[in-house]
A and B are shown apart, each in its own frame.
Chain A
Amino acid sequence: MNLAHWPFAGLLLALALPTHAADAATVYSKGGSNPAAMACVTCHGAEGEGLAAAGFPRLAGLSAGYLKKQLADFASGARANPIMQPIAAALTAEEADAVTALLANKPSPQVERISRAAPAAELGAVLALRGAWERNIPECVSCHGPSGVGVGETFPPLVGQSAQYLSAQLVAWQQGTRKNDPNDLMGHIARSLSQDEVNAVSQYFATLTETGAGQ
């Protein structure tokens, strides 16, 4: 055999083997190769829009880095969640890479830009746009961006999430079942909030999109 043919032969061999590369759409809609890695679509919706009433979050448009970290933290228990823990633990690294990239490329909700310059009368808006500095609580938008659209891989979008999901996360930080934020940046804020404040600020961001998580 002519040596010059070997690269070509190798390519044929590769094509003939069953592929191990994860197909993102399959992982999302049918689950991973391990049966415990159940299909995302069941709870997070056809387009990753989430299911507001059940508190299942929107995933569409969230950064891949943030989503991958959450999967790792579910698996490790740094973010305790009885539904997501076995799923995250059963996804292969390739499947997690693929499905998070797919979700990151989906659209984010379109929302008017609301910065600290905007008026703030109600409790939720005051926390979001003015903070509560006597307790060292910065304005939410000072890290999560105008309208809470999210910044980079560390500060996830708040807009587009349901009040149920947002308040559940704040409570999880208060109770220590979620402790996967860098340097306790979110934890110390959540622990300083009253239940009324948790509800008000969650409602504020949820109502920035007309129909909440479905948009």
Chain B
Amino acid sequence: MNAPTSALLLIALATPAHAADIAMDDQSQITTAAAVPASNAAFQPPLESQLEDNAFGKLVQQGRAIFVDTKTHAPDYVGNSLACTNCHLEQGRKANSAPLWAAYTMYPAYRKKNDKVNSYTERLQGCFQFSMNGKAPEANGPVIAALTAYSYWLATGAPTGQELPGRAYPSVSEPKGGFDLAQGEKVYAAQCAVCHGKNGEGQKAGEDYVLPPLWGADSFNWGAGMHRINTAAAFIKENMPLGKGGTLSDEDAWHVAAFMNSHERPQDPRLIDGSVEKTRDKYHANDGVNLYGKTINGQMLGKGL
């Protein structure tokens, strides 16, 4: 590490966190191994038909409802037009699509960037603050209770404290020559625009977003894990186009992920002193591959919407 970088890091570490209401100040990456075949090697969560019709079963179903139709069932905490299941496919059950059963058993977990042991509640709150561009549901409130019950139920019988095969999204190697935004734009037009719109705006049925916005004011903010090109490439490779996961090449997944994340979106709620530069140095400089605070086509990204 060179001296100016070290100095910046020291300053960043010395700066007290101003965003006191941010429960978890990062969306830390999870290191993942190669893909496991989802069909056989992965843990199988219980079937919905096995859920009993009792108080616990009702709470689990409330959690499932919030998870798949978030804005309808937890409107106070959702600032954009996304639902949890947009990123966690098959209602949070699908291996290699960040399934809840693999996440739940890893908490509590120490996270280097906020230097503390995080509870599962804090992890869920982070999703609402960043991916949903909303606000953290109260730790002892009904939304966290229901989502926790749903996750706990999905993880029934899963071994705890170990990384389960199928966790997160299998990582995809960056193209040798780096990502190419022009190629990403072509992939987007050919494969993505039919659902997500020419300008990433998503599509509605009446008032409901059915096909989620990928950038702009109604999408995830600059603090969400999906703003990392490497994370988005892994998600896209595994899951997109919907129902046709695995059909894009690794290179095209990177190119189109970079294209998606080269557009403006809501500000990172951890913004320090109104400064994109300071926020980049503290939260984005060492957070995978991302364009927050970078200049693309003459415009600095990260100003927020």
Q: Could you tell me which A residues sit within 8 Å of B by CB distance?
A: 113, 115-117, 119-121, 130-131, 133-134, 136-138, 141-146, 149-152, 154-155, 182-185, 188-189
Between A and B, 19 residue pairs with Cβ closer than 8 Å are A113-B208, A115-B69, A115-B208, A116-B69, A134-B38, A137-B243, A141-B210, A142-B242, A143-B195, A144-B210, A145-B205, A145-B208, A146-B210, A149-B206, A151-B204, A154-B195, A155-B210, A185-B244, A189-B243
B194–A136 touching, CB < 8 Å: no
The CA of A120 and the CA of B73, in the complex, are separated in Å by: 18
Would you call B22 an interface residue if the criterion is a C-beta within 8 Å of the partner chain's C-beta atoms? no
A143–B211 touching, CB < 8 Å: yes
B contact residues around A121 at 8 Å (CB): 49
A149–B205 touching, CB < 8 Å: yes
A contact residues around B204 at 8 Å (CB): 151
B85–A152 touching, CB < 8 Å: no
Would you call B64 an interface residue if the criterion is a C-beta within 8 Å of the partner chain's C-beta atoms? yes
Residues 205-251 of B at the A interface (beta carbon under 8 Å) = 205-206, 208, 210-211, 241-245
B contact residues around A149 at 8 Å (CB): 205-206
A116–B85 touching, CB < 8 Å: yes
> Interface readout for B293-304 with A: 1 if CB under 8 Å, 0 if not?
000000000000
B211–A117 touching, CB < 8 Å: no
The CA of A4 and the CA of B89, in the complex, are separated in Å by: 68
The CA of A121 and the CA of B195, in the complex, are separated in Å by: 28
Q: Could you tell me which B residues sit within 8 Å of A by CB distance?
A: 38-39, 48-49, 61, 64-65, 68-69, 72-73, 85, 89-91, 93-94, 190-191, 194-195, 203-206, 208, 210-211, 241-245
A contact residues around B244 at 8 Å (CB): 136, 183-185, 188
Chain B residue, CB-CB nearest to A149: B205
The CA of A131 and the CA of B48, in the complex, are separated in Å by: 13
Chain A residue, CB-CB nearest to B85: A116
Chain A residue, CB-CB nearest to B204: A151
> Given A146-B208, A151-B203, are A115 and B243 neighbors across the interface (CB < 8 Å)?
no
Among A137, A145, A188, chain B packs the most CB atoms within 10 A around the CB of A145
A contact residues around B194 at 8 Å (CB): 154, 182-183, 185
The CA of A134 and the CA of B245, in the complex, are separated in Å by: 12
B contact residues around A137 at 8 Å (CB): 243
A133–B90 touching, CB < 8 Å: yes
The CA of A185 and the CA of B73, in the complex, are separated in Å by: 29
A183–B243 touching, CB < 8 Å: no
Among B38, B68, B89, B210, chain A packs the most CB atoms within 10 A around the CB of B210
A131–B90 touching, CB < 8 Å: yes
The CA of A151 and the CA of B206, in the complex, are separated in Å by: 9
The CA of A121 and the CA of B50, in the complex, are separated in Å by: 11
The CA of A119 and the CA of B190, in the complex, are separated in Å by: 35
B210–A145 touching, CB < 8 Å: yes
A contact residues around B242 at 8 Å (CB): 138, 142-143, 185
- B205 touches which of A138, A146, A185 (Cβ 8 Å): A146
The CA of A113 and the CA of B206, in the complex, are separated in Å by: 11
A contact residues around B245 at 8 Å (CB): 136
The CA of A145 and the CA of B94, in the complex, are separated in Å by: 21
A contact residues around B91 at 8 Å (CB): 116, 130
B48–A130 touching, CB < 8 Å: yes
Q: How far is the CB of B112 from chain A (nearest CB, A)?
A: 33
